[in-house]
A and B are shown apart, each in its own frame.
Chain A
């Protein structure tokens, strides 16, 4: 059993959108070298002890 105090922490989020010029592909609908735009978001939490 143990309890430790965290020194620093970060909670974050991000949102990204990207326009393909090269190789982003939708594997399910891939036709030849078709490229595809994508958008995504995420959350994160970090801590340093």
Chain B
């Protein structure tokens, strides 16, 4: 079974980070494995509902230790609605070289365990159209610890009903603000596979090092327009 996506969540996390810079956030977004992963997102202080949109491109599609596409990268587009602690989301990925289309639909619920520990649980339905047809259901959970300014440990968990397997990622991000708007975050991640990717494999899956950079745009700079 192939899996992945979290585009909807990507929106949330990216937006969360931006909100943070503008509104003194209580936490940072965390991205793992080149994709955004679930983390609690505080509702905007002035509104109960946020509408989130996201566009992305990756040079390769590597997910949970699998390279999903032999050639080329993948475009992603997603949307979600942050309503208090609930986040219904939808996303679509399309290979830029190979014939591959993946739809993700899901719902996430975020909550705080303590002042410094945020958690989320969610469900995601995955539909894949391409040279091969596939689908899957995933249960997801995430924990993040935000007490330290410079180091942010996180844990993400996936369970695939199709594979009947588990996948766990432990990561530590370090956030460095170069300016008020630009944050650079190197990270280290260790993943573990328990029958999620390989039916017969149990143990360490891959070690990952990465760096992420985000530039938060101010409110007034944005304008979306449409015309019929």
Chain B residues 43 to 98 lying within 8 A of chain A, measured CB to CB, are: 44, 50-60, 62, 65-67, 70, 73, 76, 82
B interface SS class: strand
Q: Mask for A22-49, Cβ within 8 A of B = 1, else 0?
A: 1111111000010010101111111111
Our count of residue pairs bridging A and B at CB distance below 8 angstroms stands at: 188
Residues of B within 8 A of A26 (CB): 67, 70
Please tell me if the beta carbons of A8 and B51 are within 8 angstroms of each other in the complex.
no
The total of chain B residues at the interface (CB under 8 A) is 64
Q: CB-defined interface of A1-33 with B at 8 Å, one 1/0 digit per residue?
A: 111111111111111111111111111100001
The interface residues of chain A, by DSSP majority, are classed as strand
Chain A residue, CB-CB nearest to B31: A14
B window 173-228: CB within 8 A of A:
189, 191, 193, 197-198, 201, 203-217, 219-228
- CA–CA, A38 and B210, complex, Å: 12
B22 is an interface residue with CB less than 8 A from chain A = yes
User: Using a CB–CB distance below 8 Å, which chain A residues touch chain B?
Assistant: 1-28, 33, 36, 38, 40-49
